[in-house]
Amino acid sequence: MSKSKIIAVAGKGGVGKTSVSATIVRCLTEKYPDKKILAIDADPAVGLSTALGIDVKMTIDDIRKEIIASVEDGDTKNAVELLGEAKYRIFDALVETNGFSFIAVGRPETAGCYCKINSYLKEVIAILSDEFDYVVIDGEAGIEQINRRVMEKVTHLLLITDPSKKGCQVISTIKKVADDLVMYEKIGVVVNRMADLSLKKYIDTDGIEILSCIPEDKNLSMFDIQGENIFNLPSDSNVVKGTKEALEKIGVL
């Protein structure tokens, strides 16, 4: 296990994973201004960049496609050369900003088997992650993608749900998949968009610890509509307070 703390965020679509992921990045930069922090947007929708105020020019998938194109054009390269090129190029996609760095995985893998190149890129991301103290991954729905496209090892797995039965069933399924596919050290649930905190006792997370319940956040709703940077949210916003509580309980802050 690398020295990096790798925090992966997963859950059903539409439960606020990206907002929580962005808030985790904010909490880390505020708590650890001297640490190196990397945000990885592993969701094809690339929503994390908007929430963090990042302008994405290039994704890892763009690099992968360019390398594939060079190979298809008859540029015969061996595995070591491809990995070297991918590692060199990955820094073109890395955006360095105040307090943290950002990289986007991009669209899902396209048709055609380029398993070697995909595995090289996964290796490159693992190498890149070793350069950082904290890595936050905003994943798309499900955990298989984090395992297949980004990395197998995460230290902290945060499952996000809303109070719905469906949301809770999804995180239960993700945990079962993660138990088989992902080496994680700690796991916990954040229940987002709680209209009534007194309903917490009825929420069935299948035995996974609830780290925090976040009430509906009007500030955040407005920020989402306007595409505002999460760093500009008031510090007493529900999502900031709830995310901080979760990170403290799971041992990140």
Query: What's the average model confidence in pLDDT over 182-204?
Result: 90
Comparing 110 with 11, the larger pLDDT belongs to 11
pLDDT in the model for residue 14: 87
Q: What share of the chain is helix, strand, coil (3-state, %, to 5)?
A: 45, 20, 35
Q: How far is residue 228's CA from residue 89's CA, in Å, rounded to a whole number?
A: 30
Query: What's the average model confidence in pLDDT over 11-19?
Result: 91
One of 3.40.367.20, 3.40.50.300, 2.170.190.11, 3.30.40.230 is the CATH number of 5-249, namely 3.40.50.300
Burial label for 43, CB within 10 Å (0-12, 13-18, 19+), is buried
Closest-CA residue to 24 (of 10, 39, 12): 39
Whether residue 111 has pLDDT greater than 60: no
> Per-residue confidence at 123, pLDDT binned at 50, 70, 90?
confident
pLDDT in the model for residue 146: 57
pLDDT in the model for residue 247: 98
Whether residue 113 has pLDDT greater than 70: no
Query: What's the average model confidence in pLDDT over 124-134?
Result: 85
- Per-residue burial over 107-122, b = 16 or more CB atoms within 10 Å of its CB, e = otherwise: eebeeeebeebbebbb
Phi and psi (nearest 5°) for 216? -50, 140
Map out the domains of the chain as residue ranges: 5-249
Whether residue 85 has pLDDT greater than 80: no
Cβ–Cβ < 8 Å for 138, 21: yes
Which tens digit of pLDDT belongs to each residue from 204-247? 999 999 999 999 998 888 888 888 899 999 999 999 999 999 99
Whether residue 112 has pLDDT greater than 70: no
pLDDT in the model for residue 145: 61
Tell me which of 21-35, 139-153, 187-201, 215-229 is least confident.
139-153
Provide the 8-state DSSP code for 183.
Answer: B
Q: Which residue has the tokens 């060199």?
A: 88
Share of the chain above pLDDT 70, in %: 85
> Per-residue confidence at 1, pLDDT binned at 50, 70, 90?
very low
> Hey, is 20 helix, strand or coil?
helix
pLDDT, averaged across the chain? 85
Q: Give the angle subtended at the CA of 146 by the CAs of 211 and 25, to the nearest 5°.
A: 50
Whether residue 149 has pLDDT greater than 60: no
pLDDT in the model for residue 143: 66
For the whole model, what pTM was predicted? 0.90
